[in-house]
A and B are shown apart, each in its own frame.
Chain A
């Protein structure tokens, strides 16, 4: 499965905190029929597999949304 398929319908955007701009990355998966959803908050650590995948996803031509 490609990363584009894996993150299809997901909302991927930066989280800005008091410590740093674009501090971490939030992945919001589509909600189920009851409104419940799976979420991830990915730290910007080069050894983190999720972060590596997001970098690859961006390299594939996708864009991370700006923080609120």
Chain B
């Protein structure tokens, strides 16, 4: 006979059974209510009992009444003939997504640690459900190699300005030595190849050797655009060294809202206590909301490691710093994403948004140009990366440190200048005239700038 609805899946039915703990009694409780004694089959000592009044037993509701008392050595059970428990084994490949509860996962046990390499995840592989080991998908520095870390030059690999500095100012690319009255040397240090103290095989690390200390002496990094790092952030790095007399350094962040912007906001300080061995430090900061703030040109988030403001001791200390990273969100050392290494080329290109080393040493070309007038030489240079803003020209000079080469001769110079009017963040226009020591020459004659001394040094800076 036909019926309405889907054909039932394969079914099995079993009867509910209750085993009794017997004693010297005629009354027992049933786990399921029954209409009368015919709803159950009672078995005592493996003998089926006859139901009915005046027979072996009667039953109603949850009460079973025997005609004679059992003893504690009897075995007794009943089968509920009117209660079948149906089970269904669904056909293969018959469970669809719609049959799953939206809470099917949340009710399960949570793994409270990183999965083992052989733990498995489910993946939709071109429409086919498959298992995949965690080892294939877990994050590694290799996976991140082509991604851009938030920090630029956090591995201290790019040193365009030099490798040792005793003055306050930018040193290792993107890193500023803040002396605050102290005497210190910031220098590049080389890791032994294959060392395992600091992961990801960094080539270099930064060392600040403070010989005569002062409060607020340290190093800082400025992340461009205060609006691009907000909320909770994590700052992590490896460090070792010796501490100021007060026993520790401080780390602090400052939100600077740029020229004409809202007043800068600093977070509370946290302490760094160095030892003679490399150790990883992980700090969580909750940045102030930027809602309602006015943001001007040149805004940044500053991360500063320094001798505490309240520690004016002058005792020497040393800070070694490696693998500096910043992450959005709150992490611990156990959950921190691995340090993201970059290729040197990518790292250098990102650094050159803020500083470009043009020439260092003698006989280095600086740019092409021509005599605009008899004593005016004008040239242009396309910058290798678009810089943050029209850059400042920085150079080291002395008598005859530079020259314009033209027509088989050279006109020596002591000073170089750039012209604001045509210059931009992508192209610089040179301007040199008699005021810079340029000798008279033939108008429209072409030539090129170059260095003429081993100490000549030219760069463009657009730092924050």
- Does the CB pair A24–B396 fall under 8 Å? no
Residues of B within 8 A of A64 (CB): none
Q: A17-B433, A18-B431, A49-B298 are in contact. Are A43 and B396 (CB under 8 A)?
A: no
Residues of B within 8 A of A50 (CB): 392, 461
| A46 neighbours in B (Cβ, 8 Å) | 259, 297
Is B388 in contact with A47, judged by CB distance below 8 angstroms? yes
Partner of A39, one of B298, B415, B429: B415
Number of A-B contacts (CB under 8 A): 99
Q: How far is the CA of A26 from the CA of B417 in the complex (A)?
A: 8
Question: A20 and B420: CB pair below 8 A?
Answer: yes
Residues of A within 8 A of B399 (CB): 35
Q: Pick the contact of B389: A23, A36, A41, A47 (CB < 8 A).
A: A47
Q: Tell me the residues in window 8-48 of chain A with beta carbons closer than 8 Å to chain B beta carbons.
A: 15, 17-20, 23-24, 26, 31, 34-48
Interface centre among A34, A43, A45 (most CB of B within 10 A): A43
Q: Is B373 an interface residue (CB 8 A)?
A: yes
Chain A interface residue number, banded: 20 to 34
Closest CB in chain A relative to B429 CB, distance in Å: 8
Interface pairs A-B: 10 shortest CB-CB: A47-B389, A45-B390, A43-B420, A41-B393, A19-B421, A68-B435, A36-B398, A43-B390, A47-B297, A17-B431
Contacts A15-B431, A34-B398 given; does A41 touch B464 at CB 8 Å: no
Residue of A nearest to B376 (CB): A18
Q: How far is the CA of A48 from the CA of B417 in the complex (A)?
A: 16
Given contacts A46-B259, A49-B298, A68-B435, contact A38 B394 (CB under 8 A): yes
Contacts known (A17-B419, A37-B398, A45-B420); A23 close to B431, Cβ less than 8 A: yes
> How many angstroms between the C-alpha atoms of A17 and B399 in the bound complex?
22
Are B419's CB and A49's CB within 8 A?
Answer: no
Contacts of A23 in B (CB 8 A): 419-421, 431
Tell me, yes or no, whether A63 is within 8 Å of chain B by CB.
Answer: no
Interface size class of B (residues with CB under 8 A): 35 or more
Q: In the assembled complex, how far is the CB of residue B80 from the closest CB belonging to chain A, in whole angstroms?
A: 86
Quick check: A45 and B396 within 8 Å, CB to CB? Answer: no
Known: A23-B419, A23-B431, A46-B297. A39 touches B395 (CB 8 A): yes
Chain B residues, Cβ within 8 Å of A49: 298, 462-464
In the complex, what distance in Å separates the CA atom of A51 from the CA atom of B297? 12
Other A-B pairs, 15, CB within 8 Å; known A17-B376, A49-B298: A1-B181, A17-B433, A18-B372, A18-B431, A23-B431, A24-B419, A39-B416, A40-B392, A41-B416, A44-B420, A46-B259, A47-B390, A48-B392, A49-B463, A52-B298
- Distance between Cα atoms of A52 and B419 in the complex (Å): 17
Measured CA separation A48–B354 after assembly (Å): 11
Q: Is B423 an interface residue (CB 8 A)?
A: yes
Give the distance to chain B from A28, nearest Cβ to Cβ, in Å.
Answer: 8
Contact with A along B414-453 (1 / 0, CB 8 A): 0111111111000001010101000000000000000000
**Is B31 part of the contact surface with A, judged by Cβ < 8 Å?**
no
Q: A20-B421, A23-B420, A49-B464 are in contact. Are A43 and B297 (CB under 8 A)?
A: no
Known: A36-B455, A48-B390. A18 touches B259 (CB 8 A): no
* Interchain Cβ contacts under 8 Å between A and B, 27 examples: A1-B168, A17-B376, A17-B417, A18-B372, A19-B419, A20-B420, A20-B421, A24-B418, A31-B398, A34-B398, A36-B396, A36-B397, A38-B394, A38-B395, A39-B397, A41-B392, A41-B417, A42-B392, A43-B390, A43-B420, A47-B259, A48-B391, A48-B392, A49-B298, A50-B461, A51-B392, A68-B435
CA distance A22 to B373 in the complex (A): 19
Nearest-CB distance from B275 to chain A (Å)? Answer: 31
Q: Is the CB of A48 within 8 A of B395?
A: no
Q: With A and B bound together, what is the CA distance between A17 and B431 in angstroms?
A: 7
Chain B residues, Cβ within 8 Å of A40:
392-394
Q: Which residue of B lies closest to A68 (CB)?
A: B435
- Closest residue of A by beta carbon distance from B168: A1
**Beta-carbon contact of B180 and A1 below 8 Å:** yes
CB-based contact B392/A43 at 8 Å: yes
In whole angstroms, how far apart are the Cα atoms of A67 and B392 in the complex?
18
Partner of A35, one of B180, B388, B391, B398: B398
Contact residues in A for B376 (Cβ distance below 8 Å)? 17-18
B307 to chain A, nearest CB (A): 15
Contact check, A43 vs B423: say whether CB atoms are below 8 A apart: yes
Contacts of B464 in A (CB 8 A): 49
Q: How far is the CA of A17 from the CA of B240 in the complex (A)?
A: 51
Task: Provide the bound-state CA to CA distance between A37 and B420, in Å.
Answer: 23
